[in-house]
Amino acid sequence: MKAIEARDVVLSFGETPALRGASLSVSPGEMVAIMGPSGSGKSTLLHCLAGILVPDSGEIHFDGRRIDTLTEYDRSLLRRDQFGFVFQFGQLVPELTAEENVALPLLLGGTRRAAALKQARPWFERLGLAGMEQRRSGELSGGQAQRVALARGLVARPGVLFADEPTGALDTLTGEQVMDLLVESAREQGTTVVLVTHEARVAAYADRQVIVRDGRVNALVNA
């Protein structure tokens, strides 16, 4: 069974086509890097796979279930309960402490605050952030904030982690550290990873690379 799959997905923004029949399947526990030039449709494909965008035609399946036909409410529940997300700039909630940011998916899922924070705290030592639990995003470096975002994306043990340019705002060394942590953590949990990047050094961490051009998946490259 495929963990997640797009079948002949078409999506336009107004008169501008973004995806023109894109198809992609990712196996459970696999890490796939989606590459392509700017404007190729790679982030749009990721957002369709994650149930953030609904395609004009085609199908999206997760764990054997078609998700593009779900209501927005049901897709929101799916994203909350089954998917994790890491974005380019972390997108931490500035009003929350670092440990509250990590615990956020658990809190949204109904876990009591004390239990959620207890699950969040071990990630700080694991990711080299011990002692920073009470800091807010403005008190963290870019690399530290991205590691907090990574912990937030994985704390609820999602079936799929979606990472959109997770190292794009980081220097090379910090980006490599974040990718090492992402791969190690996802492997330990058996999490499937769909990664969008334009950097070959980041894509090299994946099991497989997918090239998107002009809204189509037109090349598959073994990593």
Whole-structure pTM over 0.85, yes or no? Answer: yes
The domains of the chain are located at 4-222
Q: Is the dihedral of CA 81, 87, 91, 97 positive or negative?
A: positive
CATH number of 4-222: 3.40.50.300
From residue 82, alpha-carbon distances to 85, 189, 195 in Å are: 10, 13, 16
Residues 223 and 200: their CA atoms lie apart, in Å, by 10
User: Which of 208, 181, 200 shows the shortest CA–CA distance to 27?
Assistant: 208
User: Which of 30, 71, 69 shows the shortest CA–CA distance to 206?
Assistant: 30
H/E stretch holding 219 reads strand 216-222
* Look-up of token digits 């011990």: 130
Give the per-residue pLDDT at 126: 85
Give the per-residue pLDDT at 222: 57
Point out the residues of the chain with pLDDT beneath 70. 1, 89-90, 219-223
